[in-house]
A and B are shown apart, each in its own frame.
Chain A
Amino acid sequence: MIRIEKLSKLYGKTKVLSTIDLEFKKGKVYGIVGENGAGKTTFFRCIAGLETYDGQISSNFDKLKEHLGLLLTEPFFFSKITGKEYIQLLANTRQIKLSNIEERNIFDLPLNQYASTYSTGMKKKLALTAILLQENELFILDEPFNGVDIQSNLIITEIINKLKYLGKTVIISSHIFSTLADTCDEIFLMKNGEIIRKVKQPDFNNLETEMKEFTLGKRIERLELK
């Protein structure tokens, strides 16, 4: 479980996150939605301990980061590291001894090729595979569906369901509402660094409609398309 109390973050004088209070429970999947620049990535980086912040983040682990798998929006790869070596390196950081990497390559990635030559979607899948094999208890997946093909989309959705079944906590951000609705127990709507709505599963449909109205408004009409 992760408890977040009065989390705020300033970049200079700009407030990026504003007094966020949330709780992420074991065996649940949470979604964070919000437009670009809403503060989702900063929020994730604060939980991971990659940013300093005001407020408190506590968990039932001694060191949260040691049990946390973090999928970045744009995973970084060295120029001469193969996919297999990347997975191995990330497992080593947590002292995990890996076997059958090829067998566990469920996205059929070319593991013996340099990861830096992979496409955006392949990089994402590789980074996801690597954090899954780290045997984490919590997962933060920042835009896991970005740039990923439809088949892999399905696989990732199933992976999230499986993680939930295994009692892991998963926090996802995504612009694709349907994928969140398929996997999440609760969705938080973030705007300008604040959580403005908390929606439980039965109300997902209403949230989607609301978001559509809120996001679109009269924007398309303003284009005056003929």
Chain B
Amino acid sequence: MIEFGLPLLIGYSLLPLIFILLSNYLFSKSEFASYVYGLIALGLISKLSEPKRNDFLKSIFSKRSYLKLRVVENLIYSIPFLFFMAYKGLFVFVLFLSALAISIALFNFSTNLNFTLPTPFGKKPFEFIVGFRKTFFLFPIAYFLTYISISVGNFNLGIFSMLLIGIVCFSYYSKIENEYFVWNFNLSSKEFLFEKIKTCLIYFTLLTLPIIIALSIFFFNEIDILIVFFLLCYIYLVTIIFAKYSAFPNEMNLTQGIFIAVGFIFPPFLFVFIPLFYSQSIKRLNTVLE
């Protein structure tokens, strides 16, 4: 809020309003909004399941207090979503989300797993290696949704499955890496960014290829819509990469987050934000790469 130039009190008062506006917008735009909404809520809740954080909590609280704390935390995080879904009359989703929020809290994550999950993204980039290991279970879900969309003849569900992969890949670029990893590259800032974009788009394309091929065959008449959404995913991925490095070596701040959110709602704005993020990224990366 402060970074955005907003007084803290006004900022926090505006947040619920923005939340309601965005939620309304999402539900007015897509018939699958409830699923996306649930996924967003779970994504937020899962942030609280970070193993290091929970290991720390376990070390200072008794088992009973820890569980209470985690359940309460997860429910507090899901309250805005639960209220909105209740307002929309989606009571099954309310129950389902509440149950998931509680069960995630009960789930005992361990940081000492020795099992190394194989990844198809062998040598580069780290975003896909790390990201794939954290979200691997979402890919079969996306492919399964494509299969369902074809079997019930629902093209929109197929598009949603592609967007799901887009959102997953998008999330890989939400966190900034340690400056040491950037410093090591013997590339110019421009080359570095284009290398990032190239590998991101190639891997995204490879991951969505089965969906694109299947949808192109079974919904050939709607191939133009498919291409539009596919290209939109490209644009959003480019945006997040530029946005990420526009704050380097810091994490993205609220301003960038709001710009991205605005870009999601009104894609034409991206033609302003992308060059802006790009020039900021070059400036920031130059401090380490040039």
Contact with B along A61-86 (1 / 0, CB 8 A): 00101100010100110111110010
Which residues of B (129-177) have their CB < 8 Å from a CB of A?
A: 129-130, 133-134, 177
Partner of B114, one of A52, A63, A80, A113: A113
Contacts of A113 in B (CB 8 A): 114, 116
Binds A, one of B23-31, B181-189, B237-245, B251-259: B181-189
Compute how far the CA of A81 lies from the CA of B181 in the bound complex, rounded to whole angstroms.
13
Compute how far the CA of A117 lies from the CA of B134 in the bound complex, rounded to whole angstroms.
16
From known contacts A81-B126, A117-B112, A117-B114, infer whether A90 and B133 are also in contact, taking CB-CB under 8 Å: no
Question: What is the CB-to-nearest-CB distance from A114 to chain B, in angstroms, rounded to a whole number?
Answer: 6
A78 pairs with B126, CB closer than 8 A: yes
Contacts of A76 in B (CB 8 A): 178, 180-181
Q: What are 12 A-B interface contacts by the 8 Å CB criterion? A: A70-B183, A72-B180, A76-B181, A80-B117, A80-B129, A88-B122, A93-B185, A94-B184, A95-B186, A117-B111, A117-B112, A134-B184
B116 pairs with A82, CB closer than 8 A: yes
Majority secondary structure, A binding face: loop
Interface residues, chain A, with chain B CB atoms under 8 Å away: 48-50, 52, 63, 65-66, 70, 72, 75-76, 78-82, 85, 88-90, 92-95, 112-114, 117, 134
Contacts of A81 in B (CB 8 A): 126, 129-130
Residue from the set A65, A66, A75, A80 with the largest chain B CB neighbour count within 10 Å: A80
B180 pairs with A92, CB closer than 8 A: no
Nearest first, the 4 closest Cβ-Cβ pairs linking A and B are A66-B186, A93-B184, A80-B133, A76-B178
A49 pairs with B288, CB closer than 8 A: yes
B124 within 8 A of A: yes
Which residues of B (99-119) have their CB < 8 Å from a CB of A?
A: 111-112, 114, 116-117
Question: What is the CB-to-nearest-CB distance from A192 to chain B, in angstroms, rounded to a whole number?
Answer: 26
A90 pairs with B123, CB closer than 8 A: no
Contacts of A72 in B (CB 8 A): 180
B222 within 8 A of A: no
B129 pairs with A50, CB closer than 8 A: no
B179 within 8 A of A: yes
From known contacts A81-B130, A89-B126, infer whether A50 and B288 are also in contact, taking CB-CB under 8 Å: yes
Compute how far the CA of A117 lies from the CA of B114 in the bound complex, rounded to whole angstroms.
8
Compute how far the CA of A52 lies from the CA of B287 in the bound complex, rounded to whole angstroms.
8
Contacts of A93 in B (CB 8 A): 181, 184-186
Question: What is the CB-to-nearest-CB distance from B192 to chain A, in angstroms, rounded to a whole number?
Answer: 9
Compute how far the CA of A46 lies from the CA of B287 in the bound complex, rounded to whole angstroms.
12
Contacts of A85 in B (CB 8 A): 122-123, 126, 129
Question: What is the CB-to-nearest-CB distance from A55 to chain B, in angstroms, rounded to a whole number?
Answer: 17
Contacts of B114 in A (CB 8 A): 113, 117
Compute how far the CA of A80 lies from the CA of B124 in the bound complex, rounded to whole angstroms.
13
From known contacts A49-B183, A78-B130, A81-B130, infer whether A112 and B116 are also in contact, taking CB-CB under 8 Å: yes
Contacts of B122 in A (CB 8 A): 85, 88
Contacts of B177 in A (CB 8 A): 78
A90 pairs with B184, CB closer than 8 A: yes
Compute how far the CA of A49 lies from the CA of B286 in the bound complex, rounded to whole angstroms.
11
Compute how far the CA of A95 lies from the CA of B187 in the bound complex, rounded to whole angstroms.
10
Compute how far the CA of A95 lies from the CA of B186 in the bound complex, rounded to whole angstroms.
8
Contacts of B134 in A (CB 8 A): 80
Contacts of A49 in B (CB 8 A): 183, 288
B124 pairs with A63, CB closer than 8 A: no
Contacts of B130 in A (CB 8 A): 78-81
With both beta carbons as reference points, the residue of chain B lying nearest to A86 in the complex is identified as B126
Contacts of A89 in B (CB 8 A): 123-126, 181
B183 pairs with A50, CB closer than 8 A: yes
Sample of 18 further A-B pairs with CB below 8 A, known A80-B134, A81-B129? A49-B183, A49-B288, A50-B179, A52-B287, A66-B186, A80-B129, A85-B123, A88-B123, A89-B123, A93-B185, A93-B186, A94-B185, A95-B186, A113-B114, A114-B116, A117-B111, A117-B114, A134-B184
Contacts of B178 in A (CB 8 A): 76
Contacts of A114 in B (CB 8 A): 116
